[in-house]
A and B are shown apart, each in its own frame.
Chain A
Amino acid sequence: MVQLVGPLSKELADSVSSCKILVVGAGGIGCELLKNLVLTGFKNIEVIDLDTIDVSNLNRQFLFQKKHVGKSKAQVAKESVLRFCPSANITAYHDSIMNPDYNVEFFRSFQLVMNALDNRAARNHVNRMCLAADIPLIESGTAGYLGQVTVIKKGVTECYECQPKPTQKTFPGCTIRNTPSEPIHCIVWAKYLFNQLFGEEDADQEVSPDTADPEAAWNPEDTAARATASDQDGDIKRVSTKDWARSTGYDPVKLFNKLFKDDIMYLLTMDKLWKKRKAPVPLDWAEMLQLGEDPRTRNSRLKDQQVLNVGGYSRLFQHSVETLRSQLADKGDGAELVWDKDDPPAMDFVTAAANLRMHIFSMNMKSRFDVKSMAGNIIPAIATTNAVIAGLIVLEALKVLNSDIQQCRTVREKHIKAPVKSH
Chain B
Amino acid sequence: MIDMIEKEENIISEEEAAQYDRQIRLWGLDAQKRLRGSRVLLVGLRGLGAEVAKNLILAGVKGLTLLDHEQVTEESRRAQFLIPVDANGQNHAQASLERAQFLNPMVEVKADTDQVESKSDDFFLQFDAVCLTGCSKDLMMHVDQLCASKNIKVFCGDVFGYHGYMFSDLGQEHHYVEEKPKIVKPSEETNDGPEVKKPKIDPNETTMVKRTASFCSLKEALEIDWTSEEVKGRLKRTPSDYFLLQVLLKFRTDKGRNPDPASYAEDSQLLLQIRDDVLEALGVNADLLPDSFVSYCFSEMAPVCAVVGGVLGQEIVKALSQRDAPHRNFFFFDGLKGSGVVDYFCAK
Which A residues form the contact surface with B (CB < 8 A)? 1-9, 32, 35-36, 39-40, 55-56, 58-60, 62, 65-66, 83-86, 144-145, 181-183, 276-278, 299-305, 361-364, 369, 373, 378, 380-388, 390-396, 398-399
Cβ–Cβ < 8 Å partners of B116 in chain A: none
Give the 6 A-B residue pairs with the shortest CB-CB distance, closest first. Answer: A278-B194, A391-B306, A39-B302, A380-B26, A387-B310, A388-B310
Bound CA–CA A380/B31 (angstroms) = 14
Bound CA–CA A2/B162 (angstroms) = 15
- Enumerate 18 A-B pairs (CB-CB under 8 Å) in ascending A order: A35-B81, A55-B18, A59-B23, A59-B60, A62-B103, A65-B102, A85-B81, A181-B195, A277-B194, A300-B11, A362-B191, A362-B193, A378-B25, A380-B26, A383-B59, A383-B310, A387-B54, A391-B303
Bound CA–CA A105/B317 (angstroms) = 45
What is the interface residue range for chain B against chain A? Answer: 35 or more
Cβ–Cβ < 8 Å partners of B195 in chain A: 181, 277
B17 and A59 contact, CB distance less than 8 A? no
Q: Which of A65, A305, A362, A383 has the most CB of B within 10 A?
A: A383
B298 and A7 contact, CB distance less than 8 A? yes
Q: Which of B11, B307, B310 has the most CB of A within 10 A?
A: B310
Chain B 73-104 near chain A by CB (<8 Å), digits 1 or 0: 00100111111110000000000000100111
Nearest CB in chain B to that of A34: its residue = B81
A373 and B310 contact, CB distance less than 8 A? no
Cβ–Cβ < 8 Å partners of A363 in chain B: 191-194
B314 and A384 contact, CB distance less than 8 A? yes
A382 and B307 contact, CB distance less than 8 A? no
B338 and A396 contact, CB distance less than 8 A? yes
B307 and A84 contact, CB distance less than 8 A? no
* Total A-B residue contacts, Cβ distance less than 8 Å: 185
Is B300 interfacial (CB 8 A cutoff)? yes
Cβ–Cβ < 8 Å partners of A83 in chain B: 84
Is B335 interfacial (CB 8 A cutoff)? yes
Cβ–Cβ < 8 Å partners of A392 in chain B: 303, 307, 338
Cβ–Cβ < 8 Å partners of A59 in chain B: 19-23, 58-60
Bound CA–CA A369/B51 (angstroms) = 31
A40 and B11 contact, CB distance less than 8 A? no
Bound CA–CA A398/B302 (angstroms) = 12
A181 and B194 contact, CB distance less than 8 A? yes
Bound CA–CA A383/B191 (angstroms) = 36
B304 and A391 contact, CB distance less than 8 A? yes
- Of the candidates B25, B79, B338, the one whose C-beta lies within 8 Å of that of A39 is B79
Is B222 interfacial (CB 8 A cutoff)? no
Is B29 interfacial (CB 8 A cutoff)? yes
